[in-house]
Structure 1
Amino acid sequence: MNVLFLCTGNSCRSILAEATFNHLAPSGWKAVSAGSRPTGEVHPRSLSVLNREGISTAGYASKSWDDLPVRPDIVITVCASAAGEECPAYLGNVMRAHWGVEDPAHVTGTDSEIDAAFETAYRILRARIEAFLALPLSKLQSDPLELKRALDQISSITPSV
C-alpha cells in the first residue's frame, strides 16, 4: 500500500509525514510526499527535527504531485485549511483523508519559537501516523469504508506538546 502525504509546498509537513511514516511502517507500506506547488527544497528545520528523532533524511526532496514514483492507494492532505490555506485536491480514484496541521514554515518569531512550531507539527503528525499504523491494517485493507472512517477519526488526534 502506498500512502501519499500531500500539501502545497512539499517542504515541511508532508516531508515530515513521509519520513516518519517510512521510519515506522511495516513491510508492504510505503509513503511518498508531494506538493501542488512545490517549493523545490526541503525546509532545513524539517530535516533538523527528523535528524534529532533519528529518522533518516536521505533522498527526501520537494517534488510535484505530477512526478510521483508510484500510484497512491491513500492520499492524506496535511494543509491547515482551517487557517485559510488552500489544500490541493488530488484527482484520482483513491481513498482520501485530511489531517490538517499548521504550516511551521509560516511562523515568525525567535529561533526557539520557530523551532517549537516545527516540533509541534512533527509531534502531531507522528501521533497520527502511530495511530494509523496501530490499526489492524491487513483487516482494513479489505474494508475500505472502515479504513476511511478510521483515517477521518485520526485527523482529530492532537497530542499535548
Structure 2
Amino acid sequence: MRPNVLTRTAISLTAVVGLAAGTVAAAGTSFAAPDAKPAVSSEVSVLAVNNLGLNTARAQRWQCWLRDTGYNPGTIDGQLGTNSWKAAQRKFNDLGLNAGTVDGVVGTNTIKALQRYLNIFDYGLAVDGVAGPATKAAFWDFNEINYCA
C-alpha cells in the first residue's frame, strides 16, 4: 500500500524540521566550545614518498647508490621516502653540501644540496632550491646507470 500525498508531506516536513533543529543545535554547540579543534587541519603534511620525477627503477638505483656509498636508505623499493631522504641528507651534509637538518623532508635545503651534488657531475644547475624541470631531468639522467646490479 502506497502512502498518500498527505502522509508523504507530513513525513517530509517532520524530516526537515528535525534536520533544521539538529543543525541549529550543532551550530549552537560549535560556538559554545572555544577550545574545540577545527574539523579540518590547517597543518601541512609532508609527502610520504617524493621521487622527484624518478620512476621506480631509477629511484631504486638512487637508493642503491646511497647504500653503496655508505648511506643506508632502508628498503630498496623504488619509493624515496623519509629513510631514503635522510640517507641523502646525511651524504650531502658529509660532503659539505649543506642539506640542513637530517629529517627526511625534501625541502629547499635538500633540493639545493641535491643540485650542488648533481653539479659535481657537470649538470650546470642553478642552485635555487626548486625541483624544477632541469633538476628533475638531471636527477633522472644521473640515475640512468643501474647501481643495483
TM-score, with structure 1 as normaliser: 0.27
Relative CO higher for 1 or 2, CA cutoff 8 Å, sep ≥ 6? 1
Bigger helix fraction: 2
Bigger strand fraction: 1
TM-score, with structure 2 as normaliser: 0.28
